Structure 1
Amino acid sequence: MAQNEAGVALVAGGAGFIGSHLCRALVDQGYEVLCLDNLQTARPSNLRLLEALPNFTFVEADIVNPLPQAVLERADRITRIYNLACAASPPQYQADPEHTMLTNVVGTNHLLRLAEKTGARFLLTSTSEVYGDPEVHPQAEGYRGWVSCTGPRACYDEGKRAAEALTFDYARMNRAEVRVARIFNTYGPQMHPDDGRVVSNLICQALSGRDITVYGDGSQTRSFCYVSDMVDALMRLMESDINPMEPVNLGNPTEFTVNELLEKVLVATGVEGRVTYNPLPQDDPRRRRPDISRAKAVLGWEPTVPLEDGLARTSAWFAEELGVELAQPEMQEPLRARA
């Protein structure tokens, strides 16, 4: 693909963890990338890496507010809109629950109106949290979920459900061409060390010599997808001819308990840490694993990076960020600027 032949891809939340990897991949695919981010939860170093890329422009703005002129003046060239704008870890999105809800509803509406105006294809990154603490396992897209609408996670869970409803209404009324991804736990380089997610928590605590914190008894399960696999899936979904009224689960279907994850983190970091167990947070899901049958069928996609390999790469990256030595460096592959 010739440079810029694809037009402009707008990535809201593009300075964040997954967004920064997506921006790089889109530049590599020939897009001119316009990154929109309020820098509320993004890492400045992610942005510095991106600003070194050709055909990349950063605009500091919040999608809760009307879109800035720097976006509107490129509107006639925007062909793809990726909405990744929202804090995604519980400590971050609970810190300002009003803003979290408005980002998902008002912000999504601003981007959908831009899609309607420009004819650009719109992709919403929703979340596995729409399934809540599921009573059905694994979770397929047809499952309607078991979500608390009054708990401390509701600003995010219900905000994403509302964002989906709004997106599907635009599609139903032929106002925009849309895609909806339900993302399950994703990890890799360029995560924020203090974002409160389980992978970054365990790795950073181990590398820093702190007590390693496990919530509950560690028997709760999650499924962990390496970031390069997730970015591949998002781009495939955006370019697919899938029925726009069908959300698509994106994640790794291999399920691990938190205790099993901890064991693999200790191997990856070469650390023997002391573990402390704290109460499980309110409404924290007990089990989480995606049914990715739809993604396999319509996107030809499934994850390729095993958890052990992904944790080795992620641990090496965090060690470099934290300025510490891994106990077994020969096993690691430093990945500062790669997915």
Structure 2
Amino acid sequence: MGSELTYRGHEPQPTSDSYSPKPTKPWSTVVTPPITYILREQRLLFVLIGIIIATIFFALIPSSQTIYVSKPAHFIHPPRPIYRFNPGGKVPLSLKRKGLRIVVTGGAGFVGSHLVDRLIERGDSVIVVDNFFTGNKDNVMHHFGKSNFELIRHDVVKPLLLEVDQIYHLACPASPVHYKYNPTNVVGTLNMLGLAKRVGARFLLTSTSEVYGDPLQHPQVETYWGNVNPIGVRSCYDEGKRTAETLTMDYHRGAGVEVRIARIFNTYGPRMCIDDGRVVSNFVAQALRKEPMTVYGDGKQTRSFQYVSDLVDGLMRLMEGEHVGPFNLGNPGEFTMLELAQVVQETIDPDAKIEFRPNTEDDPHKRKPDITKAKNLLGWEPKVALRNGLPMMVSDFRRRIFGDHKDNSVAITVGGLRGTMEA
């Protein structure tokens, strides 16, 4: 009987077949659409606030900026983009480049100082080693105070120990006046190769077209062995560079040193030594001083002249490439000495005189590089013609000879590009 009694308030409750610990959401039913849910209880306001916060957050993240920095005036190339990022921004991996630690022997000289400019501009740490026999501090003074530049007064005929990734070995007098007085090819090269072996650095030797001597083959290719007088007045330089190439290849084959060999043909440009006995600097200095331009022999000897920025580009491509060489680096445009004198006349003084003198001993009759190998393997060829590059060298010589600062800039069009050189 008791089980059948029903007390007030204890009536049976309806039961459900399914159990859910959370109440059913109104937007989960077909009856209430999603838009109604968003509009209720100020939910739309919070969505808008979230969008505003996200917009402000992404707006404050710095983005990359591409800044174009022009090269020094004597390098007439298109401005190269340097990627700079504000603090807090992330640098994409594809834009990162680890700066190298590079030593340039002879880095205060004519070619060396231009090479240093390019390496510093690229972001590398550069150590210049020079004894200032033909180099000049003025050539690198604009780098003083930079954290990625060091200058060491040292003669490479004495050993030197540095921790570096690459060695550009340019230290050697390159003009007849200087190398006859102080030939230093072999010992300096041997010391720098020893350094490369000890620290595992890549080594680039700047050899010369003089290894071909007075060539019997024209134009000269890298496989030509040359025609050199081993006991002549120029042999200290000619044979010294040939020996330097031999040592370089022996260290490569025997000690596993990574090496590169460049055979440099006649090069001209700002910062050349004014009275170093080389034909371009001689002609320019003589014409500026109103002196007769001295042509040796009959003036029919031929040479090829490349502007210094072209050479530096070739050296850097060779160092960064995967080919040992040797590579001819020169301009295949061929000029006789008389033709060169005429170009100097056109550039400086149409009334400049030409004076003939007896030819020097062992002076090569023809010199022209075959640069097919450099074109195919390095993707390199010179771009600056003699008539375009010579005025910039003349401006530099005029300033150094006469101290002329009145016209402190010379505009010149080179290879279709307009550049400005500070005089």
1:316 and 2:316 equivalent?
no
> Could you tell me how far 1:325 is from its partner in structure 2?
6.9
8 Å Cα contact 2:409/2:421 also seen in 1: no
Structure 2 equivalent of residue 107 of structure 1: 188
Q: What is the correspondence of 1:111-130 to structure 2 with a 5 Å cutoff?
A: 111-130=192-211
Please point out which of 319, 328, 337 is paired with 1:249: 328
Please point out which of 136, 141, 159 is paired with 2:217: 136
Please point out which of 381, 385, 403 is paired with 1:302: 381
Structure 1 equivalent of residue 240 of structure 2: 159
Deviations 1:66-89 (A, max 9, x none): 21xxxx3x41xx111000000000
Secondary structure at the aligned position of 1:58 is classed as strand
CA distance in structure 2 between the partners assigned to 1:330 and 1:29 by the alignment: 25
Structure 2 equivalent of residue 83 of structure 1: 169
The two structures, once aligned, show a CA RMSD in angstroms of 2.1
CA distance in structure 2 between the partners assigned to 1:27 and 1:320 by the alignment: 25
Q: How many correspondences in the alignment?
A: 322
Structure 2 equivalent of residue 292 of structure 1: 371
Give the structure-2-normalised TM-score: 0.73
What code does the residue aligned with 1:236 have? R
Please point out which of 110, 126, 132 is paired with 1:39: 132
Change in CA separation of 1:3 and 1:86 when aligned onto 2, cut-off 3 Å: farther
Secondary structure at the aligned position of 1:308 is classed as helix
CA distance in structure 2 between the partners assigned to 1:224 and 1:204 by the alignment: 17
Secondary structure at the aligned position of 1:122 is classed as strand
CA distance in structure 2 between the partners assigned to 1:151 and 1:219 by the alignment: 22
Structure 2 equivalent of residue 18 of structure 1: 111
1:269 and 2:362 equivalent?
no
8 Å Cα contact 1:207/1:324 also seen in 2: no
Please point out which of 78, 84, 95 is paired with 2:181: 95
Please point out which of 261, 266, 286 is paired with 1:180: 261
CA distance in structure 2 between the partners assigned to 1:217 and 1:84 by the alignment: 33
CA distance in structure 2 between the partners assigned to 1:291 and 1:110 by the alignment: 31
Q: What is the correspondence of 1:205-220 to structure 2 with a 5 Å cutoff?
A: 205-220=286-301
8 Å Cα contact 2:321/2:378 also seen in 1: yes
> Could you tell me how far 1:164 is from its partner in structure 2?
0.2
Q: Greater CA radius of gyration, 1 or 2?
A: 2
* Deviates most, 40-49 or 124-133: 40-49
1:237 and 2:306 equivalent?
no
Secondary structure at the aligned position of 2:140 is classed as helix
Change in CA separation of 1:55 and 1:145 when aligned onto 2, cut-off 3 Å: same
Question: What 5-or-longer segments of structure 1 have no aligned partner?
Answer: none
Secondary structure at the aligned position of 1:316 is classed as helix
CA distance in structure 2 between the partners assigned to 1:53 and 1:265 by the alignment: 37
CA distance in structure 1 between the partners assigned to 2:133 and 2:251 by the alignment: 28
> Could you tell me how far 1:321 is from its partner in structure 2?
1.6
If asked which structure has higher relative contact order (CA below 8 Å, sep 6+), I would say 1
Structure 2 equivalent of residue 280 of structure 1: 359
Secondary structure at the aligned position of 1:287 is classed as coil
8 Å Cα contact 2:408/2:422 also seen in 1: no
8 Å Cα contact 2:411/2:421 also seen in 1: no
Give the structure-1-normalised TM-score: 0.90
CA distance in structure 2 between the partners assigned to 1:39 and 1:79 by the alignment: 24
Deviations 1:90-127 (A, max 9, x none): 1111123xxx1xx2111111111111111111000000
